[in-house]
Structure 1
């Protein structure tokens, strides 16, 4: 493993960290100022960057001969994926913000607890090693990402169609990436040097769609002051992608069928036939067979388009691809925004992989854009995920209906008091006053909680405490906020907790 580089002008800090890390079998290399670090980086990249560079950089923020923040900026230019931990005795907000804006992995105020500092460095090491593997995979990633068997079938189909001009129908849910498949079919076809023209037939008003597809002659209708070439002519020698073909108006379907049949069409208001040398790829999220039965889609056009059909799986059918796609979109978002790419913790990836993604790959891409802007730290934790990812859990797992009250346990009063952990008041017959211990009317939800706990335990899960605690706290806070119309301070007072506590819980539970 590559060493941990420690940069601090204080010899005692360097010595303590070196000894603590060596006890953890983590190699180290120490520097007294940023100039030495930059010189060592230059030397390492000239010799063997894979073995001599740092695994993690731990740097003080204020040192003679240079600032830790300046060092962070220069190091990130050379090694953008390197985790950098910034230490400082000046625990001010500006330094923390500057560190995170510069792409720091974490901010460590002095004096620090040594075991916690070592644990933070170990987390940074694990993150660095994980990102190295991810970068290797990304370097070899194709234009379309997917390791799931269903996606491999799509890739094989694209390969088989690479030397063909046959019409293709792509089916799949909205946001699953149908246009990407169409572009790949074009790119790997004999028409790759020709244009790729896409049109969403559902996004254009019916009155304009005919002109968009086939063009119009001058004076064909009010406002047509010049002749205009339509999408068929624009795609001459290439590929025309007709997205959401299921929404095409019925009368236009007849014109499209004629083009596909004899390869000719007329511009709106025109009298001379125009030859179309175009490969058509269509896509839809609808059930075209059912639309044919309903009489809203022509059967002959359906058979003309349905020469080869490719079904694109929904993201929930290829969950194993979520981590790869997430890292790809985070890299892409960072590049577009000109910021440091964020990393994502395994727990957050696991949460994303379990999400249903009704919006498919497009929704995942949007979530990654959101995280790039909104996640507070360089490493995305589960609590940083947007509310939509957490919100479905409460809808998907409603509390079970109240169960009938169970008969009272046949234990003597002393035994029940011992189970409770404290003496319980007893009634005249020597039995505990259950009504005092459990208020009337509360057994319904407690029985429901008991049933839910038993169900989760029966699944062999090992996070039952965290799972039920989080759901309980979320429901409690949301109910209190509803009763105060969103006023947090008043809700905290009613719950008997502090203002800072409710704010922290809202953030941790994703209830913003």
Structure 2
């Protein structure tokens, strides 16, 4: 029989088991812990919990094997996967195998407890696993983990998605991952950069045209919507589309049918639309250059791809990966960035984001002498060299000099340090999506120290 309000924890790491046991106990949830899968399954024959928390990699069993078994025999029990190996493969595989939630280590214990309590009260949506191929995406930064989790959550869905982010962040790669990990994975993925065509040509690209429909239309042309039938159409730079074409696109999304340019026959299609933009579509709606009804049709689910400067902990992995890839493509001896070179790359602001990093790696693969790439071999633009702190430090110095010349009731440090700490705390929390544990690590504090300072300063979150 199932005992109410009970969570079972499977992890070979004793410290993780202890932290979860203590925290869940304080939250009013009874726990049982297992270091081995064998002991867990023996106990499962006698009773069942409300929720299961499992690691992926353990000595005697994989968390995916546990997920598979629970999905087959106890599909009503939600399973939460925790892992230190937090890549896209594990995130998507967890959701596709039926995980209720996926938490990369280290996780914020308060967030984890909240998710576990929520899971204990409801039945998860069961997802059928498949063997879809997964495009290469790299990222351990919290912002990229959110992208991975979103792709995983949508792996059973064909809903429209709006992807936002700066140019060069990899929005098309996210769109491909959404397609490859969806029920439409075996159907076509058709990309189209809408900003690459003038309005009249874009209409023909999207919907096709009949022979003789306009000057130069010498034969019938099948448009991208027909090409994508059954699959996914990716519309990049959707914010540049004219209002007239927005109206036509809206009709297709609403009615799943359209006419070719110059055509009289209605064509029915079944297409998932994933759109992307580097603009603020909501502001475009407010100023009248983007249709509000189309905005809500596209923005059923949204994913924001972070800029490279907001995920600088991924730069080293990305740089080594793309340098290796460039060497392979050019059929030359592989090269490797030195530690100094990687540190140099991490101080750069990357206005062109991942696309700029890829181009740098290709240049380095050709031009750098030897197999070890030194900082001086990296061809960064002179106007965009690693950003220095001279600007803000000079301003701070001038302000301090001015303040010290005045009469003061209390020491300057007593006034300045809380202000600086508040700025740092807010910036760190914003970068990691409000996760206190991650923010504390960025700032070099313990979580309790950060929590105390947030409370003392009255900083509001979320």
Give TM class, smaller chain. 0.5 to 0.7
Deviations 1:352-381 (A, max 9, x none): 011110000000000000110111121011
Conserved? CA contact 2:140–2:314, under 8 Å: yes
Paired residue secondary structure (2:264): coil
**For residue 249 of structure 1, what is the aligned residue in structure 2?**
242
Deviations 1:358-407 (A, max 9, x none): 000000000000110111121011111114278434787469889xxxxx
**For residue 369 of structure 1, what is the aligned residue in structure 2?**
362
1:148 corresponds to 2:161: no
Paired residue secondary structure (1:202): helix
How far apart, CA to CA, are the structure 1 residues paired with 2:219 and 2:175? 32
Distance change (3 Å), C-alpha of 1:247 and 1:317 = same
CA offset at residue 142 of structure 1? 6.8
1:317 corresponds to 2:310: yes
How far apart, CA to CA, are the structure 1 residues paired with 2:135 and 2:316? 15
1:277 corresponds to 2:258: no
Conserved? CA contact 2:135–2:176, under 8 Å: no
How far apart, CA to CA, are the structure 2 residues paired with 1:389 and 1:252? 41
Number of residues of Structure 1 aligned to a counterpart in Structure 2: 266
**For residue 503 of structure 1, what is the aligned residue in structure 2?**
none
1:392 corresponds to 2:378: no
Deviations 1:34-70 (A, max 9, x none): xxxxxxxxxxxxxxxxxxxxxxxxxxxxxxxxxxxxx
**For residue 344 of structure 1, what is the aligned residue in structure 2?**
337
How far apart, CA to CA, are the structure 2 residues paired with 1:256 and 1:223? 24
Deviations 1:457-481 (A, max 9, x none): xxxxxxxxxxxxxxxxxxxxxxxxx
How far apart, CA to CA, are the structure 2 residues paired with 1:394 and 1:352? 11
Segments of structure 1 that go 5 or more residues without pairing to the other structure are 1-140, 403-446, 452-512
Distance change (3 Å), C-alpha of 1:231 and 1:261 = same
CA offset at residue 341 of structure 1? 1.2
- The correspondence for 1:189, drawn from 182, 191, 194, is 182
Distance change (3 Å), C-alpha of 1:168 and 1:394 = closer
Distance change (3 Å), C-alpha of 1:265 and 1:321 = same
Runs of 4+ in structure 1 displaced over 2 angstroms?
389-402
Conserved? CA contact 1:352–1:389, under 8 Å: no
CA offset at residue 291 of structure 1? 0.4
RMSD of equivalent CA atoms? 2.3
Alignment TM-score, normalising by the size of structure 2? 0.55
Alignment TM-score, normalising by the size of structure 1? 0.50
- Map 1:273-312 onto structure 2 (within 5 A): 273-312=266-305
- The correspondence for 1:262, drawn from 243, 248, 255, is 255
Conserved? CA contact 2:143–2:311, under 8 Å: yes
- Map 1:119-138 onto structure 2 (within 5 A): none
**For residue 30 of structure 2, what is the aligned residue in structure 1?**
none
| More moved, 392-401 vs 269-278 | 392-401
Paired residue secondary structure (2:274): strand
- Map 1:407-422 onto structure 2 (within 5 A): none
CA offset at residue 304 of structure 1? 0.6
How far apart, CA to CA, are the structure 1 residues paired with 2:391 and 2:381? 16
Paired residue secondary structure (2:195): coil
How far apart, CA to CA, are the structure 2 residues paired with 1:244 and 1:274? 25
Distance change (3 Å), C-alpha of 1:215 and 1:345 = same
How far apart, CA to CA, are the structure 2 residues paired with 1:196 and 1:401? 51
CA offset at residue 344 of structure 1? 0.8
Segments of structure 2 that go 5 or more residues without pairing to the other structure are 1-133, 402-462
Deviations 1:415-439 (A, max 9, x none): xxxxxxxxxxxxxxxxxxxxxxxxx
Paired residue secondary structure (2:211): coil
Deviations 1:97-151 (A, max 9, x none): xxxxxxxxxxxxxxxxxxxxxxxxxxxxxxxxxxxxxxxxxxxx97211111111
How far apart, CA to CA, are the structure 1 residues paired with 2:386 and 2:318? 22
How far apart, CA to CA, are the structure 2 residues paired with 1:279 and 1:296? 24
1:179 corresponds to 2:172: yes
CA offset at residue 268 of structure 1? 0.2
Conserved? CA contact 1:167–1:306, under 8 Å: yes
- Map 1:215-254 onto structure 2 (within 5 A): 215-254=208-247
CA offset at residue 255 of structure 1? 0.1
**For residue 203 of structure 1, what is the aligned residue in structure 2?**
196
How far apart, CA to CA, are the structure 2 residues paired with 1:205 and 1:395? 41
CA offset at residue 276 of structure 1? 1.2
CA offset at residue 206 of structure 1? 1.6
How far apart, CA to CA, are the structure 1 residues paired with 2:375 and 2:230? 49
How far apart, CA to CA, are the structure 1 residues paired with 2:383 and 2:220? 53
Deviations 1:301-325 (A, max 9, x none): 0011110000010000100000100
Conserved? CA contact 1:170–1:283, under 8 Å: yes
How far apart, CA to CA, are the structure 2 residues paired with 1:188 and 1:401? 50
